[in-house]
Structures are given as structure tokens and as C-alpha cells.
Amino acid sequence: MASVDRILWKGGEGEIVEKKSRFIATTMPAATEEEAAAFIEQTRKRYWDARHNCYAYVVGEQGKIMKCSDDGEPAQTAGRPMLDVLLGEGIRSACVVVTRYFGGILLGTGGLVRAYSAAVKEGLKNSRILERTAGRKMCILTDYSGMGKIRYMIGKNEIPLMDIRYEEQVEITVMVPEERAARFTEEITEATGGRARIHAGEPEYFGLDDGRVVPL
């Protein structure tokens, strides 16, 4: 497992105006083609009076499913540039629709490419994107005397803290990036003289939303 993707976690909306034409970009998380298709249809109904509702999405395992549409614009001037923005930003599990209200002035092929690309970037600015990281959830069981050292090691290594339970012993749950899991385990063992017990879960993907660990 490797950290390679950025995941659209929360959708957003952005708008640009180019020669009196309005380009409204709406983004939405989508894990499957069915979710993307439903969002596209919903957006078309919302902007039923627009000239064009062009779209692009990257979904599926490792973002292998990609599709885009010019929706009546000249070929390769809308959908493909929109898709190129998603791919260039490394964004997965995402669908974006750019709605165009025609302003009466033709933009030409180059102008259309620039406008649709810029609209997508504006929409992404107002979206929430998380980095998808491979990690392991670790539960560390320690006596109270070892808690300070463990908390220090967690802070020093900037390991996301998920939970702390205070009972007869202290159970600390953290999410450790996979590439650092072995070394972090060694450091905790050394810091506590082998007294802390560590249970590591199976590899999984996670992201950080304002410091909170979320599964991705």
C-alpha cells in the first residue's frame, strides 16, 4: 500500500465569468460510476435552463474509471480539460460538473479550454480534499508511569491520536503511517523499557480531516 491519492472528501462550488458567460463548477465525492451519474443528473435538473452541463469524474479502485463529456461544446474543449485538472491534482473519488450559461460571445477552443479548467480549479478551492495515506491503527497499553513518555513520542513523531482510555492501565489508540510503523514501535518499546504492549491492526487507508482520522 502506498500514499498516492488525494480524495475529494466534501464537495463545493466555485464560479468564474468569462466574456459574460458564467461557468459554475460543482464538485461531489463519488466512489462509483453510479454515484457520479446520480450527481450529474441531479446537477442537470438543478441547472435545467443552462446551455451546457459538462462533467468529468475519476472513481473506482485506484481511480481506474475515468469519464468526461463536452455536453455539446466543441470536442475536447470542456470534459477532457476538466478531467485533466482532476488527474493533474491527483484527485480521486470525485465528480465535477461545470454548468455554462452562455453570455452571447464565442470564446474559441482555447478560451473554452481555459475557462472550463479554471472553473474546476475554482470549485476545488471550495472543496475539502484529504490525502489518502496507508497506515495501521495501533493500540498501546501502558501503566500510568509510562504514559508521559508515550505521549511525548506521539507528539515528537506527529502521529495522529485517536483515543485515550483511562482504566487500570491506559490504552492509547493512534494511527501510524505504514512506512513509519516499524520504527515507531521500536521507539515506544525503547522508551518504556519494553513495558508497553502494542497491538497493530491490519493495513488500511486513512485521511486527516482537521486532525481527525477518517477512513478512506
Distance between CA atoms of residues 133 and 213, nearest Å: 11
Kindly state the DSSP code that residue 142 receives in the 8-state scheme. Answer: E
Q: Is residue 4 very low, low, confident or very high in pLDDT (cuts 50, 70, 90)?
A: low
Residues 165-189 have pLDDT tens digits of 999 999 999 999 999 999 999 999 9
The mean pLDDT value of the chain amounts to: 95
What's this model's pTM, rounded to 2 decimal places? 0.86
Cell numbers 505504514 correspond to: 178
Question: From CA 179, how far away is CA 49, in angstroms rounded?
Answer: 51
- What CA–CA distance (Å, rounded) separates 98 from 197? 52
As a whole number, mean pLDDT of residues 93-109 equals: 97
Domains of the chain: 5-126 (3.30.230.30), 134-215 (3.30.70.240)
